[in-house]
Structure 1
Amino acid sequence: MPRPRENRRQPVTVITGGSRGIGAATALRLARAGHRVGIGYERAAEAAERTAEAVRAAGAEAVAVRLDTSDEAQVDTVFDTVRERLGPVTGLVANAGISGPLGRFTETPTEVMRRVVDVNVTGTLLCARRALREMSTAYGGQGGAVVSISSCAATLGSPGEYVHYAATKAAVDAMTVGLAKEFGPEGVRVNSVQPGSVLTDMHAAMGDPDRAWKKAEVTPARRPGEPEEIADAVAWLLSPEASFTSGAVLRVSGGL
């Protein structure tokens, strides 16, 4: 039996946390694959615009929109803006995430835990829900794909660093499996990517700029990942080549 053809119209993909790091690398990678790109960013407006300009230089259309993923109204604004400026949304890369400072679980402030859960869990759920309303055939959409950025922390637990963050990423993976089963019959594939330690400025935000290289010592590849290596995995999961892949949690970690 021949495999079903996915919709071949020009894809339009929303990327949350798209101003820097994995999000920015994914925006550029998708631009090279012919996607129009909506870039959500929380505070780094200049970085988001630089990413948008790089996307345009690669020959694709782009729009950058401020977004706190935990705010439902802002999520709606992003999707409304992307649809009006770029066309019907066909994909979501739920990349926005925070960890808070590194430290023992017993010393992690409640407000840090709550904010990490708000962004990483509630924010991912809100973005996925809006994307599914755009893409599901049950809502008049033409199908599409969701890729969430998880973390190896979801299975390793990250003791002594950020157990609360690890817990939120495990929730993202559970969401991936459930949504893949619920929305597969409605034309939407849902997957997640679990990066290992990657060279981004997230480590500095945690309080340890050299953390990626320290983690390399226990990574079989003996090096950190590059954002572009995660972006390649995301691009594949969004592509027609992954048309039979849904509910997958793809580990991209150098063997960690």
Structure 2
Amino acid sequence: MGVTHKITVVTGGGRGIGAAICTRLAAEGHAVVIGYRSDAARAEAVAEQVRAAGARAITVAGDTADPDDVDRLFDAAAELGPITGLVNNAGIVGPVGRLVDIDVSELPRVYAVNVIGVLLCARRAARELLGRGGAIVNLSSGAATLGSPNEYVHYAGAKAAVDAITIGLAKELGPDGIRVNAVAPGVVWTEIHEDPERPAKLAPQIPLGRAGQPEEVAGAVAWLLSDDASYTTGAILRVAGGR
């Protein structure tokens, strides 16, 4: 593929939906900066897949809820050149169960990663993109509108915040030529589920009759980063099989 003309930072890029996003973007000519929390081997395996597709890749460890780590991520990205986009994918579910029963000590971390992390990364990306334009895609969730009762109301609330951030930033950054959108996946086959069979169990509730694959979410993200979406901002694209 040769020289890439887009350079995209993907947080949480070492596994699941994030890994699928990285490989899809590589196939479409993006150099990829793969942010990950702790599993260096898996992140490097994704980087190798990106390179095999003919694109450049680097991996950067860090916590998106830590401002210093976020700065390190974007400083490292400069090795590839000026970034053109960000995918705010890093996220955690936290405890599963009814709100009255869960361990509240875990709640701050859920909001630190899913909300503060999104804000910190979007803030730094916007600073990088000012004067040049570009695109930010946030990963929301179908939970933001379903509420996820009896499972993780706290997570749903955090993702609803991501929706609000997306809409607000789209209006704030639109005059600067920076598009901000979100993709809201439904039930997808990834490791995020505490019960690995949860996608299969929920399939009967999904109009399309099945859980999604990470690659199907990655395609939506890739489109929002592409020139085909040049007039799309402030959108929350639901990829949830009709649920």
Q: Does 1:54 align with 2:49?
A: yes
Q: Deviations over 1:149-170 (max 9, x none)?
A: 0000000000000000000000
Q: Does 1:228 align with 2:223?
A: no
Give the equivalent residue in structure 1 for 2:80.
Answer: 86
Q: Does 1:219 align with 2:214?
A: no
- Superposed, 1:18-167 pairs within 5 Å as 18-83=13-78, 85-137=79-131, 142-167=132-157
C-alpha separation in 2, matches of 1:74 and 1:121: 16
DSSP 3-state at the match of 1:86: coil
DSSP 3-state at the match of 1:202: coil
RMSD of equivalent CA atoms: 0.8
C-alpha separation in 2, matches of 1:111 and 1:89: 36
Opposite residue 152 of structure 2, the aligned amino acid is Y
Opposite residue 203 of structure 2, the aligned amino acid is A
TM-aligned CA deviation for residue 110 of structure 1: 1.9
TM-aligned CA deviation for residue 109 of structure 1: 1.6
Opposite residue 129 of structure 2, the aligned amino acid is M
Give the equivalent residue in structure 2 for 1:245.
Answer: 232
Opposite residue 124 of structure 2, the aligned amino acid is R
Q: Which runs of 5 or more structure 2 residues have no equivalent in the other structure?
A: none
Give the length in aligned residue pairs.
240
C-alpha separation in 2, matches of 1:254 and 1:156: 14
C-alpha separation in 1, matches of 2:186 and 2:150: 17
Opposite residue 179 of structure 2, the aligned amino acid is R
TM-aligned CA deviation for residue 201 of structure 1: 0.7
DSSP 3-state at the match of 2:205: coil
Opposite residue 22 of structure 1, the aligned amino acid is I
Q: Deviations over 1:75-111 (max 9, x none)?
A: 000000011x211011000000001131111112222
Contact in 1 for aligned 2:99/2:150 (Cα 8 Å): yes
Opposite residue 194 of structure 1, the aligned amino acid is A
Give the equivalent residue in structure 2 for 1:172.
Answer: 162
C-alpha separation in 1, matches of 2:217 and 2:76: 26
DSSP 3-state at the match of 1:217: helix
DSSP 3-state at the match of 1:169: helix
Q: Deviations over 1:40-74 (max 9, x none)?
A: 00011111000000000000000000021000000
Q: Which runs of 5 or more structure 1 residues have no equivalent in the other structure?
A: 1-8
C-alpha separation in 2, matches of 1:88 and 1:97: 25
C-alpha separation in 1, matches of 2:28 and 2:154: 35
DSSP 3-state at the match of 1:120: helix
Contact in 1 for aligned 2:62/2:73 (Cα 8 Å): yes
DSSP 3-state at the match of 2:94: coil
C-alpha separation in 2, matches of 1:75 and 1:218: 38
DSSP 3-state at the match of 1:190: strand
Q: Stretches of 4+ moved more than 6 A in 1? A: none
Structure 1 stretch 147-156 or stretch 96-105: which is displaced more? Answer: 96-105
TM-score (norm 2): 0.97
Aligned identity (percent) is: 59
Opposite residue 46 of structure 1, the aligned amino acid is A
